[in-house]
Amino acid sequence: MEPGGYAWWYVDGVSHDGRHALTLIAFVGSVFSPYYAWSGRRDPLDHCALNVALYGPGGRWAMTERRREAVRRSRDVFVIGPSSLAWSGGALTFRIEEVAAPLPSRIRGQVVIRPEAVNTRGFVLDRRGRHVWRPIAPRAAVEVRLDSPALSWSGSAYLDCNAGREPLEEGFTRWTWARAALRRDAAVLYDVVERDGGRHGLALRFRPDGSIDPVEPPPVRRLPTTRWLMPQETRSDGAARVTRRCEDAPFYARSQVAASLLGEEAIMMHETLSLDRFRSPVVKAMLPFRMPRALGRGPSFAEI
């Protein structure tokens, strides 16, 4: 990966009863890392992290950045310090060993993602072709088995990946993304504003057989501003409302949103990202309180 580049693999899941939700994001060249920015983004592999966010009872949040000595990547395995993710038998397994921030507490256990179908097609998000998104599994099942906190649940999930050849904030000023599991299909909505003012959007239906159909984007609906006074909107055939606020940061918000898509009522996982806000030196100075960087050398993988 070239200097300034990044990649991440993103999972979100919601329990069948709706009480629990999570997101897992494995980063190379962590796009929101102040350390990567301050380093001049010379070495993406020296700035890797696994972000673990648990919502609902037992909620915790962790994102410790690891140096390249603590990272190992192959075709099917990605080791980030004491945690890892690996493909085996058609399932993606996260083995998690992290410490929450800002109040230290353990997050330890296993999360397994089982895709209903795997998509190999990627979509370019900008006109210069420097940022690509691939929805790997728009529909999947999730099994959560954690020892700390003591959580055990199953539900529906989603898996995708993003990669780019320049910092995210150089390509975009903001974006809105949402995904929803429908009765049989899945839907994903992307709206981006590029740094030069250009706009680009995707509205896609994913069929159980893996086929993908572009659809007419629903109308834009306003959502309440966040605690940090960040404007939000989404697309929905009818009225939309926030049912759970998962993340509320100065430049980023993740929510569950009740909306109407393709003739169905659905609960979407929704995110709003302001890269103009992220560029602020003040915001970057706040991030180490939630995103520590591990010091010293990592383990020797030659001995494993």
* Average pLDDT over every residue of 251-265: 95
What structural domains does the chain harbor? 6-292 (2.40.370.10)
Q: Which residue has the higher pLDDT, 272 or 208?
A: 272
* Average pLDDT over every residue of 266-292: 92
Which of 120, 255, 123, 247 lies closest to 180 in space, CA to CA?
255
pLDDT digits (tens, 9 = 90+) for 29-70: 999 999 999 999 999 999 999 999 999 998 999 999 999 999
Cα 256 off chain centre by:
14
Q: Encoding tokens for residue 68?
A: 């390249």
The least confident of 158-162, 204-208, 284-288 is 284-288
pLDDT digits (tens, 9 = 90+) for 121-174: 999 999 999 999 999 999 999 999 999 999 999 999 999 999 999 999 999 999
Q: Note whether 119 and 60 are within 8 A (CB).
A: no
Q: Kindly report the number of other CB atoms within 10 A of residue 246's CB atom.
A: 22
Q: Kindly report the number of other CB atoms within 10 A of residue 211's CB atom.
A: 11
Cα-based angle 204, 19, 65 (whole degrees, multiple of 5)? 70
Is the pLDDT score of 296 beyond 70?
Answer: no
Q: How much is the pTM? A: 0.94
